[in-house]
Structure 1
Amino acid sequence: MTNSTSEMQDHLSPIWRRIRHVAVFLSAVAVLSRLSYLGIRAFHHDESLDAWFSLQYLDGSYKGYDPVYHGPLRFYLNAAFFWLFGQSDSVARLLPALSGIGVVLLPWFWRRNLGPIGTPMAMALLLVSPTMLYFSRFGREDSFFLFLTFLTVIVIFSLLATPKRWHPSVLLILLVLGLAVKESVFLTVFIFGSFGMVLLAQDFFIASFSQYRRKNIQPDYKEFKREILIEGVNRRTISVQSKVLQPISNKKIPEEAIRRIFLLSGILLMFAVFLWIGTNPGEQKDVPTLLKLGAYGMSLAIVIFVCAGFTARSRVQFSEIPTLRSLCVPRTTGWILGVVVAGFLFTALFTQFFQHFGGPGSITAPHGAIRNGLTSGFEYWLGEQATVRGDSRWQYYLVLLFAYEWLAIALAGVGIVSVIRKPNLFGQVIVWWACASLLIYSWAGERMPWLMIHILLPLIILAAIGAQSIWDRKRKGLTTFFLGIFIVLGLGYSTVTSIYSSYFRGGEPQELFVQAGQATPEVPEWAGHLEALDRLSLTHFGRHLEVRIDSDVYWPYGWYLRDFPTSSYAVISKDSFPSTADIIFVPHWDRIALEGEFRTYEEIPYEHRWWWVPEFDSGINGPRELGDLISSWGSWIWDREPWDSKSGKCPASLSGSVYIKKEIYELGKEYFKESFPSRGEKPSYGKACATVSNFLRGDQ
């Protein structure tokens, strides 16, 4: 019976038919959870920019790729969605939602490797993960990039395990698509490029060592002595000695041990290099970061050459090396075709489908479209490492993972042990992917909550391996019972947390997913007020309102007021206040006194964006304050109660003021009655951060 026939029979077995039904159910829930109520949360600063540039491409005013705003591909796709379905908050988030659905479905491609328990476990963990659900409904490029990364890893593993002639073309196309979405593709190339080098060295060593053992170890015999009774006339008993050949494989170092050594050594070497670089890669005074990473690459190359030398001396044909054989199966024509197709696609994507070969002319993209795509993204990303945007703490992702994804972390730990005990190619790929992603993203200077999904995905696949290994042991009794209870409770916790963090309090600052660019509910409320006030002004005064919004608070108003006829972006200061405008939005540092020519205005304070950056150790100074730490985290886990600390702050906001002409203000009060201006729904806290008065305001 051939392997394909046996695999087909396995997947037609009753258990796989049930697994297929479970997968269909999980897929349906993924569609429902990702697409429902996409517009309920106020837009984040970055979401509004993505939507705005998509509109620019739709109306023909998009100037081309600028690495500040990442790749252009999602602008093209969002523009297509706007053209098909109209412009709305939900449609602006449709691409990440569809990508999130795809991420839940993709583990099915690895069902033969994950097994009948690991496959639905991977899909279930991706489905109910609070992190995955939140950022599948978040209008940035990360969900789409994660989907492309997942496809890329699937193709890489397929190329190594069962190479086909079409693999190079698909792999290079996916890498170009990833580059056209986000510069993080350089990290993907680094992760799997370094893995390929370790794998090649490992295969060379296994081949040479196996050949050496076959040549130099003499057959090993074990003697047996028996007495045999010979029936006959005299009935004699004689002793017979015999030798039995022992298999040579029992005496050699097993291949699993070699795989284990190379996997762990490669990860430890990468860890050592990142310790050498430090947690702020942009500020390297002695040896630049690129040189240190180059030293890491040279170290791996030296190991490869040494192992290849052993292989050559052993007279093993290089064509027998699995990694080299996989790369050679597509042949030169396959790789050349892949490069040509990828180059054509790259040119199309970065020149707006051959319509605009010039660049935007910005400081960060000063060249033509093709050169910007090739070099500007990497140069900008490398320069940004010194700014340490986002959270500066190296343990940032670890804390968020344990806060939201402890079930996946626990099962991933089991998965790592399982792979190390019996390493195979699939396990090595996933362990390397998970460990390298955690190391690299924790090392990189920019640490943002949405980047956590790139660490979490391989951990969830590793968790699925762990779940399958637990099932394969089939332990009975209390162990199985408690493991089952733990997994059920973990899935329940993840489900409840996902629902609350995505549907009920997704825009509130006590959620650690919320970053400083998140708009408060007042922003969409004010956008609605402006639309209504403009209609009232046109009816009563025969003119549209003139609205000026300062650059520091312009986004996401730029998206919400996209159809507003007379709103404009402005750089406002106390010395250049636009006294002729009907409504003016400024941050708190540009507030003015209502005197002189400004006596005709009413000032209305409001919060524009909010956030919370807790101290993960709760500001403790010693073991005696450990109880405060446990209590603070316990309150947060149970009811999302934030805490204050010695150097931290309760949830804070970028506050500002709206200056509105008195006649417009009175018109609004008459029209809206008591609800003008509406402040939107805000959270209230019951402990250290008792009220929203803890939000930073300009008058405090």
Structure 2
Amino acid sequence: MNIQVVRERYAQCSVEMIFGIIFLAGCIVRFILPNFKLLHHDEAIHAWFSYELLTKGVYQYDPMYHGPLLYYLTAGAFRIFGDSDLIVRILPALFGSAIILLLYGIHKTGWLSKNHAIWAALFFAFSPDMVYFSRFLRHDIFQLFFTILLLFAILAYIEWKRPGYAYLAGFAAACGMCLKEDMPVAILIFGLFFMVLICLHRIQLPKSWKRDITGAVFIAAGIGFLFYTSFLNHPQMFWDAPFKALEHWTSMHTQCRLCGPPYWYLAMFLLYEIPLVILAIFGTWQWGVKDRGVRHFRAGDDAPERGDARTSAFMGLMVFWTVATLIFYGWVGEKVPWLLIHQLFPVILLASYRVEGKKIIAGVITLLFLLGMTMHVCFTPTDINEPIVQVQNSEDMRDVMALIDSARTVFVASDSYLPLPWYYRGGRWDKILFYGKKVNPDVWSGKEPDVIITHDTDSYDSLPGYEKKPYHLSYWFSLYDNQNRALEWYFLRDGKMGTVNLDVFVRSNKSESIV
């Protein structure tokens, strides 16, 4: 089949059909084998808090664990479908997949051409960072969904002048604010950009804009009040939350708890999304130099795709968004991999600009690279030496939990024990006695626990009647151990990892019966 036939068949397909196929493909890589990896350290915490909210009705905002919406969404899913790892992973996969549909919605506003929207959806569907964090119970993929919903609502309001879209924008902004403390960055970026367009008379708002925006603000305030007050259980928190968040994250910034250089996220781009970076640079050059088209327009005007000023303005927003987020997150002291997706989304839109002609080959190569990297980071069955995992619970813990499952009594003499509270929630924790630190063996004299778990740095050389086995609790990519072999590691993704280790003592006769 030659390229001309492919082009003709592509032209005959409706955009809805193409987006339906991309959405299905995006769902497959996000939903397939959701329990393939154990819950990440943070996932176990979020799942546990949601379970506590469901079973005890206990929740109060703490900026260390971000906003309340994630816990209410997850607790609601637990109530409907039951509490399980499956639901923990399906919920973010659902929101991550839905962003593909929002790209279609932005296309329908006229600000994103058919070809641009389709390639953006393809790159988003298979991006390793986007897929990985769509299979991950953290706030960020939910926040990104509401960020793009906010963008869609703004564009729809500009184009169609209906107050409902202003109210939708208020809803989306509020939900994002109820998820994470960095949502104001996206709101500020959008606000500044569209205020400039208004001041330059590039867009027009309806005569009812004051009423519509006032309504949106009231909707946002109402949603924020309900969630941050834990549905009126802690009413003072609505006023206290902003100050608590500012105080906490300012402190974290100065502590450099998980610090890195300002270019840390650029390095992450080169690790996992390097073809997108190249295409984004080329797409920005095409837009800014080669395709300098009509810049002045009024919303609603029809223009040819190549000279469409809406597309030009949209690309301007993507450039501003990319630069602003790279500067902001590069400055913030905390450097964690999930924050990459907020910077990556506009890069995807830059990379997907004018993927046509010979550039289609580059687009296909990019897709193949993204898919291969996605398969590696999401579906490698063992622990992987990748910065994207941050601090992931080791697959060794499956063996540890098998020992716990077969035991009658278990003593945990360590403060490193997550994700056990999640996996042994409810009555399953009854057989586990938690000490929190190393204790004198006389404490359990005569009780003969089947399994004793300690941290390897605060453990026992040996215990009479027990066999000692080492296991990894969690692991992470160690720059220190790989800095002198960076090129070799880049291609092999091997080498030493940083680990937190457990010593597990199994009663000798119990060990024999298990074998």
- Give, in whole Å, the separation in 2 of the partners of 1:380 and 1:74: 19
Q: Secondary structure at the match of 1:349?
A: helix
Which residue number corresponds to residue 65 of structure 1?
61
TM-score normalised over the length of structure 2: 0.86
Q: Map 1:548-697 onto structure 2 (within 5 A).
A: 548-551=412-415, 553-562=416-425, 563-573=428-438, 578-579=443-444, 582=449, 583-594=451-462, 599-614=464-479, 618-619=483-484, 630=487, 632=488, 636-637=490-491, 639-642=492-495, 650-660=496-506, 662=507, 665-670=508-513, 672-673=514-515
Which residue number corresponds to residue 502 of structure 1?
378
> Does the C-alpha gap of structure 1 residues 170 and 523 become closer, same or farther in structure 2, counting only changes over 3 Å?
same
Q: Which letter does structure 2 place at the counterpart of 1:489?
A: I
Q: Secondary structure at the match of 1:599?
A: coil
Which residue number corresponds to residue 279 of structure 1?
none
Please say which of residues 560-569 and 140-149 is displaced more in the overlay.
Answer: 560-569
CA drift at 1:343 = 2.0
Aligned partner (choices 191, 198, 211) of residue 333 of structure 1: 211
Which residue number corresponds to residue 529 of structure 1?
403
- Give, in whole Å, the separation in 2 of the partners of 1:564 and 1:617: 39
Q: Which letter does structure 2 place at the counterpart of 1:454?
A: H
Please say which of residues 521-530 and 159-168 is displaced more in the overlay.
Answer: 159-168
Matched, 1:440 2:328: yes
TM-score normalised over the length of structure 1: 0.64
Which residue number corresponds to residue 168 of structure 2?
170
CA contact (8 A) 1:16 1:116 kept: no
CA contact (8 A) 1:56 1:62 kept: yes
CA contact (8 A) 2:153 2:168 kept: yes
> Does the C-alpha gap of structure 1 residues 570 and 416 become closer, same or farther in structure 2, counting only changes over 3 Å?
farther
Which residue number corresponds to residue 347 of structure 1?
225
Q: Map 1:322-401 onto structure 2 (within 5 A).
A: 322=202, 325-326=204-205, 329-354=207-232, 356-357=233-234, 368-401=236-269
Please say which of residues 566-575 and 486-495 is displaced more in the overlay.
Answer: 566-575
CA drift at 1:17 = 3.6
Which residue number corresponds to residue 43 of structure 1?
39
Which residue number corresponds to residue 182 of structure 2?
184
CA contact (8 A) 1:157 1:429 kept: no
Q: Secondary structure at the match of 1:585?
A: strand
**Over alpha carbons, which structure has the higher Rg?**
1
Unpaired runs of at least 5, structure 1: 1-12, 204-320, 359-367, 475-479, 535-544, 620-627, 643-649, 674-700
CA contact (8 A) 2:92 2:135 kept: yes
Q: Which letter does structure 1 place at the counterpart of 2:493?
A: R
Matched, 1:426 2:317: no
CA contact (8 A) 2:130 2:341 kept: yes
> Does the C-alpha gap of structure 1 residues 549 and 466 become closer, same or farther in structure 2, counting only changes over 3 Å?
farther
Q: Which letter does structure 2 place at the counterpart of 1:497?
A: M
Q: Secondary structure at the match of 2:338?
A: helix
- Give, in whole Å, the separation in 1 of the partners of 2:397 and 2:348: 36
- Give, in whole Å, the separation in 2 of the partners of 1:654 and 1:134: 23
CA contact (8 A) 1:114 1:465 kept: no
CA contact (8 A) 2:157 2:163 kept: no
- Give, in whole Å, the separation in 1 of the partners of 2:228 and 2:60: 7
1:615-664 alpha-carbon deviations (Å, 9 max, x no partner): 69944xxxxxxxx654x25xx33x4334xxxxxxx21211121234x3xx
Please say which of residues 442-451 and 411-420 is displaced more in the overlay.
Answer: 411-420
CA contact (8 A) 2:112 2:314 kept: no
Q: Which letter does structure 1 place at the counterpart of 2:371?
A: T
Q: Which letter does structure 1 place at the counterpart of 2:275?
A: L
Q: Which letter does structure 2 place at the counterpart of 1:557?
A: L
Which residue number corresponds to residue 350 of structure 2?
462
CA contact (8 A) 1:546 1:567 kept: yes
Which residue number corresponds to residue 80 of structure 1?
76
CA drift at 1:407 = 2.1
CA drift at 1:16 = 6.6
Q: Map 1:193-212 onto structure 2 (within 5 A).
A: 193-196=191-194, 198-199=196-197, 203=200
CA contact (8 A) 1:93 1:139 kept: yes
Q: Which letter does structure 2 place at the counterpart of 1:399?
A: A
- Give, in whole Å, the separation in 2 of the partners of 1:463 and 1:123: 11
Q: Secondary structure at the match of 1:658?
A: strand
> Does the C-alpha gap of structure 1 residues 427 and 558 become closer, same or farther in structure 2, counting only changes over 3 Å?
same
CA contact (8 A) 1:65 1:372 kept: no
CA contact (8 A) 1:166 1:330 kept: no
CA contact (8 A) 1:438 1:455 kept: yes
- Give, in whole Å, the separation in 1 of the partners of 2:442 and 2:239: 41
CA drift at 1:569 = 4.4
CA contact (8 A) 2:468 2:505 kept: yes
- Give, in whole Å, the separation in 1 of the partners of 2:264 and 2:407: 44
CA drift at 1:509 = 3.3
Which residue number corresponds to residue 148 of structure 1?
146
Matched, 1:411 2:279: yes
Please say which of residues 572-581 and 370-379 is displaced more in the overlay.
Answer: 572-581
Q: Which letter does structure 1 place at the counterpart of 2:368?
A: G
- Give, in whole Å, the separation in 2 of the partners of 1:464 and 1:425: 15
CA drift at 1:25 = 1.0
Which residue number corresponds to residue 109 of structure 1?
105
Which residue number corresponds to residue 449 of structure 1?
337
Q: Which letter does structure 2 place at the counterpart of 1:83?
A: R
Q: Which letter does structure 1 place at the counterpart of 2:422?
A: W
> Does the C-alpha gap of structure 1 residues 15 and 73 become closer, same or farther in structure 2, counting only changes over 3 Å?
same
Which residue number corresponds to residue 514 of structure 1?
389
CA drift at 1:571 = 2.5
- Give, in whole Å, the separation in 2 of the partners of 1:464 and 1:71: 32
CA contact (8 A) 2:129 2:272 kept: yes
1:538-586 alpha-carbon deviations (Å, 9 max, x no partner): xxxxxxx1432522x1211111111332325443146798545723322
CA contact (8 A) 1:572 1:578 kept: no
CA contact (8 A) 1:51 1:92 kept: yes
> Does the C-alpha gap of structure 1 residues 463 and 442 become closer, same or farther in structure 2, counting only changes over 3 Å?
same
- Give, in whole Å, the separation in 2 of the partners of 1:379 and 1:156: 31
- Give, in whole Å, the separation in 1 of the partners of 2:410 and 2:316: 61
Unpaired runs of at least 5, structure 2: 1-8, 296-311
> Does the C-alpha gap of structure 1 residues 194 and 606 become closer, same or farther in structure 2, counting only changes over 3 Å?
same
> Does the C-alpha gap of structure 1 residues 518 and 154 become closer, same or farther in structure 2, counting only changes over 3 Å?
same
Q: Secondary structure at the match of 1:113?
A: coil
Which residue number corresponds to residue 625 of structure 1?
none
Which residue number corresponds to residue 362 of structure 2?
486
> Does the C-alpha gap of structure 1 residues 14 and 606 become closer, same or farther in structure 2, counting only changes over 3 Å?
closer
CA drift at 1:462 = 1.4
> Does the C-alpha gap of structure 1 residues 334 and 108 become closer, same or farther in structure 2, counting only changes over 3 Å?
same
